[in-house]
Chain A
Amino acid sequence: GDSVTQMEGPVTLSEEAFLTINCTYTATGYPSLFWYVQYPGEGLQLLLKATKADDKGSNKGFEATYRKETTSFHLEKGSVQVSDSAVYFCALSESGGGADGLTFGKGTHLIIQP
């Protein structure tokens, strides 16, 4: 079946550092890929998405590129802020975005120190 693997953390960085959170996937078809963010006590919020190979999703300074050859969708940000502290989830959907549910990674807890 489908699966998503991401670094578990916690990942601790200083403010303005460069961020990379790795995500790789296995899927039988040609999935759409997503990053969600969860702030303490809240639900998940969609951060960005990509639906085909070489697509780059971006939002709020975060970027991720759909790499079919390496089955990866790594999340990056050039300069993190304390407000970016949260749990980040990589996810995939075989159907093109969620009409059949998402398969999530375990989540990566990111801590940004001032």
Chain B
Amino acid sequence: DAGVIQSPRHEVTEMGQEVTLRCKPISGHNSLFWYRQTMMRGLELLIYFNNNVPIDDSGMPEDRFSAKMPNASFSTLKIQPSEPRDSAVYFCASSFQADGVETQYFGPGTRLLVL
């Protein structure tokens, strides 16, 4: 299996531009998570989906951030308009349950720089 796939791996944009990050989860996994990693705040859960349905978006910083999962094999995280403080590494993870425990598998991340 290819694992969780994220694109792009790196993104540099200017303040005010729209940014779209993409994620393809591992086939058969029914939960998908978006995290943000910064030096100051560490790893933060932004939003997660179960069976393509958003369950908890309380970690989304503000209305500029939105996430969708139109089907089981694709999700997007959009920032519009972007700001310099959005610069971070964004990780997508998917999970499945085995022996009563869900295990999350992470993608390689998208490194975003907003100038």
A residues apposed to B, CB below 8 Å? 32, 36, 41-46, 49, 51, 89, 93, 95-107
| Residues of chain B from 22 to 71 with CB closer than 8 A to chain A in the complex | 31, 33, 42-43, 45, 48, 50, 55-56, 59
The interface on chain B, measured as residues whose beta carbon lies within 8 A of the other chain's beta carbons, has a size of 25
Query: What's the least CB distance linking A95 to chain B, in Å?
Result: 7
Query: What's the least CB distance linking B65 to chain A, in Å?
Result: 16
Query: Which secondary structure characterizes the binding site on chain B?
Result: strand
Judge whether A32 and B45 touch: CB under 8 Å.
Answer: no
A99's contact among B43, B95, B106, B107, by CB below 8 Å, is which? B95
Judge whether B56 and A49 touch: CB under 8 Å.
Answer: no
B residues apposed to A, CB below 8 Å? 4, 31, 33, 42-43, 45, 48, 50, 55-56, 59, 91, 93, 95, 97, 100-109
Complex formed: what's the CA distance from A49 to B31 in Å? 19
Given the contacts A99-B97, A101-B48, A105-B42, A49 and B102 also touching, CB distance less than 8 Å: no
Query: Which secondary structure characterizes the binding site on chain A?
Result: loop
Given the contacts A43-B4, A43-B106, A97 and B42 also touching, CB distance less than 8 Å: no
Given the contacts A43-B107, A43-B108, A98 and B102 also touching, CB distance less than 8 Å: yes
In the complex, the chain B residue whose C-beta lies closest to that of A43 is: B106
Judge whether B43 and A104 touch: CB under 8 Å.
Answer: yes
Given the contacts A99-B95, A101-B48, A106-B42, A49 and B103 also touching, CB distance less than 8 Å: yes
Judge whether B95 and A97 touch: CB under 8 Å.
Answer: yes
Given the contacts A99-B102, A106-B42, A44 and B91 also touching, CB distance less than 8 Å: yes
- Residues from chain B with a CB closer than 8 A to the CB of A44 are 43, 91, 93, 106
Complex formed: what's the CA distance from A43 to B3 in Å? 11
Query: What's the least CB distance linking B59 to chain A, in Å?
Result: 8
